[in-house]
């Protein structure tokens, strides 16, 4: 198939159907009515705004998560916004199917309604970047900017999002560090189309800076400060937020995830395939066979998963794995890679090691050389010497990595995530074995399937 045929087939899968659009439209109208009624009953001066991909019509078929922002007047004190915003969110959510509290810069409510996730987030009713007080306030401005500038290229955004998902480079969360939906939308506005973005990956990397809001002319001092800060931080890309000159939209984008787009874009343009958008499921082989063929070993720490949201838990797992990697390297165990995650109620750290045992020489003191026991000590040991009046010998011992890890943890010599220290100190330490539910994770880790670009 050529590029046009592939794009046509992808759009058939990612473009919402008429029935789906009707469902989403009716759902948003219902939520809007529920929110307005609840705001009125509580006597609050709050405006409800839909933001995110549904509000911009850039969502993928089957992806209906709703972001409903509850905008308080600018003069509202922050503590009052948090208190009343949470109260309002809970009051709305009580009319839906279920809900739970979640935490970002301030608490918000994550509800479910008719099979769809609904985030109810308090914010300020900002009309300009100068009004922004919390990290979420810009979302209303983002939605307005995209709707004003996208000019009917919604399907181009869908293609780019699906491509980024297919190559495992989508999502700006700290534990993913890929392309956000908003960044995808800006790139389509900037380069005109999905293919335009792919063709520009080298240009982006060389020019480094994208300024769709023309802030470098409108607010040169602020924009240059942002640019200088982000360049010094060695970001792969600086996209000055078109609604706020102080912010880099691509601040969370890692070199690894940009590199995936860089290589995959070139490959797709030369050899287009549906596989880039919809990769085949990973074939699962034996992790034990992988270990035998690689001649390496697998160390796994398995422990009770703390009750933390992913945005908090996963970065702390990553920090703990890196800390253990450094500690084991100091102890003479070469670490070839690591992986983290959780399954059910248990979290894990996995490390691939060059070896699991090390030889050590230990010095053993003996008796004073003129005592009766000295001759026996001298006869039994191969290497013997005198220091002062006492005999000494050396013994070669073998230490297993499990003992080393347990000792490091007991002595607090491993930097760990602050909410994971006690759980990891009580972890089960496994070598060349994982329980059934982690066999797939072990195989994918050893094969580097999630990191491969070829």
**Helix (H), strand (E) at residue 346:** strand 346-353
In 52-170, DSSP assigns E strands to 66-72, 98-103, 107-113, 116-124
pLDDT at 104: 67
CATH number for the segment(s) 285-454: 3.30.70.590
State pLDDT tens for residues 324-342. 999 999 998 999 999 999 9
Query: Exposed, middle or buried, 292 (CB in 10 Å: 0-12/13-18/19+)?
Result: exposed
Q: What is the mean pLDDT of residues 157-184?
A: 95
pTM of the model: 0.84
Q: Per the structure block, which two tokens stand in for 109?
A: 């409510």
C-alpha dihedral (331, 333, 335, 340), degrees to nearest 10? -70
Q: Cβ contacts of residue 294 below 8 Å, gap of 6+? A: 352, 446
pLDDT at 139: 95
Residues of the chain with CATH 3.30.460.10: 16-138
State pLDDT tens for residues 239-266. 999 999 999 999 999 999 999 999 999 9
Nearest to 125 by CA among 69, 55, 74: 74
Sign of the Cα torsion 175, 178, 180, 181 reads negative
pLDDT at 178: 95
Residues of the chain with CATH 1.10.1410.30: 150-276
Nearest to 58 by CA among 173, 243, 185: 185
Q: Predicted confidence band at 206 (pLDDT cuts at 50, 70, 90)? A: confident
Share of the chain above pLDDT 70, in %: 99
Q: Cβ contacts of residue 35 below 8 Å, gap of 6+? A: 48, 68, 70, 92
Q: Using CA atoms, how far apart are residues 435 and 298, in angstroms rounded to an integer?
A: 13
Residues of the chain with CATH 3.30.70.590: 285-454
pLDDT at 42: 95
Weakest mean pLDDT among 190-194, 337-341, 377-381: 377-381
Q: Give yes or no for a contact between 140 and 51, defined as CB atoms under 8 angstroms apart.
A: yes
What are the backbone angles phi and psi of residue 59, rounded to the nearest 5°?
Answer: -75, 155
State pLDDT tens for residues 283-325. 678 999 999 999 999 999 999 999 888 888 999 999 999 999 9
Q: What is the mean pLDDT of residues 336-365?
A: 92
CATH superfamily of the domain spanning 16-138:
Beta Polymerase, domain 2 (3.30.460.10)
Choose the CATH number for 150-276 among 3.40.50.300, 1.10.1410.30, 3.10.20.30, 1.10.240.10: 1.10.1410.30
Q: Predicted confidence band at 282 (pLDDT cuts at 50, 70, 90)? A: low
Q: Using CA atoms, how far apart are residues 67 and 148, in angstroms rounded to an integer?
A: 19
> Is the confidence at residue 429, as pLDDT, over 70?
yes
> Is the confidence at residue 82, as pLDDT, over 80?
yes
Q: Per the structure block, which two tokens stand in for 37?
A: 């009624």
What are the backbone angles phi and psi of residue 242, rounded to the nearest 5°?
Answer: -65, -15
Q: Predicted confidence band at 30 (pLDDT cuts at 50, 70, 90)? A: very high
């Amino acid at each position: 198939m050529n590029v046009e045929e592939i794009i046509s087939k992808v759009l058939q899968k990612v473009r919402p159907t008429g029935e789906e659009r009707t469902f989403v439209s009716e759902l948003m109208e219902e939520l809007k009515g529920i929110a307005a009624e609840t705001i009125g009953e509580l006597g609050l001066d709050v405006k409800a705004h839909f933001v995110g991909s549904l509000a911009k019509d850039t969502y993928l078929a089957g992806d209906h998560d709703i972001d409903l922002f509850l905008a308080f007047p600018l003069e509202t004190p922050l503590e009052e916004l948090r208190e009343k915003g949470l109260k309002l969110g809970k009051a709305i959510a009580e009319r839906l199917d279920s809900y739970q509290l979640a935490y970002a810069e301030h608490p918000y409510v994550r509800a479910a309604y008719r099979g769809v996730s609904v985030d109810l987030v308090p914010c300020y009713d900002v009309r300009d970047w100068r009004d922004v007080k919390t990290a979420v306030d810009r979302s209303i401005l983002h939605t307005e900017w995209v709707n004003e500038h996208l000019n009917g290229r919604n399907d181009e955004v869908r293609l780019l999002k699906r491509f980024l998902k297919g190559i495992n480079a989508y999502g700006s969360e700290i534990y993913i560090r890929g392309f956000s939906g908003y960044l995808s939308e800006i790139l389509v506005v900037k380069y005109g189309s999905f293919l335009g973005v792919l063709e520009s990956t080298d240009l982006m990397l060389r020019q480094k800076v994208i300024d769709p809001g023309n802030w470098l002319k409108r607010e040169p001092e602020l924009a240059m400060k942002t640019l200088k800060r982000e360049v010094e931080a060695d970001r792969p890309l600086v996209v000055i937020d078109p609604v706020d000159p102080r912010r880099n939209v691509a601040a969370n984008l890692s070199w690894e995830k940009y590199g995936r787009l860089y290589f995959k874009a070139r490959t797709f343009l030369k050899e287009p395939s549906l596989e880039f958008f919809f990769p085949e499921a990973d074939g699962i082989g034996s992790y034990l066979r992988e270990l035998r063929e690689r001649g390496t070993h697998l160390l796994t720490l398995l422990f009770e998963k703390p009750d933390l949201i992913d945005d908090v838990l996963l970065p702390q797992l990553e920090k703990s794995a890196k800390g253990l990697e450094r500690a084991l390297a100091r102890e003479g165990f070469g670490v070839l890679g690591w992986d983290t995650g959780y399954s059910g109620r248990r979290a894990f750290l996995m490390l691939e090691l060059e070896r699991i045992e090390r030889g050590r020489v230990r010095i053993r003191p003996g008796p004073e050389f003129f005592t009766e026991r000295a001759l026996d000590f001298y006869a039994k040991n191969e290497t013997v010497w005198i220091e002062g009046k006492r005999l000494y010998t050396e013994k070669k011992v073998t230490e297993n990595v499990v003992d080393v890890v347990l000792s490091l943890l007991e002595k607090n010599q491993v930097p760990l995530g602050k909410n994971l220290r006690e759980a990891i100190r009580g972890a089960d330490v496994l070598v060349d074995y994982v329980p059934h539910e982690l066999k797939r994770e072990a195989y994918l880790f050893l094969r580097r399937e999630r990191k491969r670009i070829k």
